[in-house]
Structure 1
């Protein structure tokens, strides 16, 4: 399963872009439709199940909605919020190198 350093934000129970967020490592399945994060299994939103949501993944057990995307160098990961994501310790060095211009692991070619 491919690992990626990603931005992830909880959308359920919070106003637009005000939920907690992290820069963390997600483990994706081969199809990229399922991700594993902190013991949770997240599935990609498909169809109209979350048509009015700002989420692109949901927790299969709790139904909580998440936004998952690659981190941005300019740190504008949330569209409207001003909060900063928690950078998890196990990705801190790679993320800081990314902010300085290095490629993220697994994305050396784009």
Structure 2
């Protein structure tokens, strides 16, 4: 498994970019087609897949958007507020915002 700090947003049941979101650790399998976070197992959707998400929860069919966090904190394109930052990623995220490499992406 590859572990990365990611921006994750629930898309199902919310208007565009208004679902809950997190900055958290996400574990990916070797093919990058399966992601795990907060006890959920997500599968990558094919290009042009369902709606605004790029992953689907295999247990609930909820859609999620996963991407690397943005240093300018503009992760939510249209929604107000900001993502919840998990306690176990606070230090790494703060270092990234201060100009450090994104954990899990030190080599690019």
State TM-score, norm by structure 1: 0.94
Q: How many Å apart are 1:68 and its aligned residue?
A: 0.3
Partners of 1:49 and 1:107 in 2: CA distance? 26
Question: 1:24 maps to what in 2?
Answer: 24
Deviation per residue, 1:51-78 (Å, 9 max, x gap): xx11000101100000000000000001
Give structure 1 stretches of 5+ with no counterpart.
none
Q: 1:82 is paired with a residue of what secondary structure?
A: coil
3-state DSSP of counterpart to 2:75: coil
For residue 101 of structure 1, what is the aligned residue in structure 2? 99
How far apart, in 2, do the equivalents of 1:47 and 1:10 lie?
A: 18
Counterpart in 2 of 1:45?
45
Aligned counterparts of 2:104 and 2:47: Cα–Cα separation in 1 = 29
Aligned residue pairs total 108
* Separation (CA, whole Å) in 2 of partners of 1:71 and 1:49: 22
Q: 1-side partners of 2:71 and 2:13: how far apart? A: 27
Misfit runs of 4+, over 3 Å: none
Q: CA-atom RMSD, angstroms? A: 1.0
TM-score normalised over the length of structure 2: 0.96
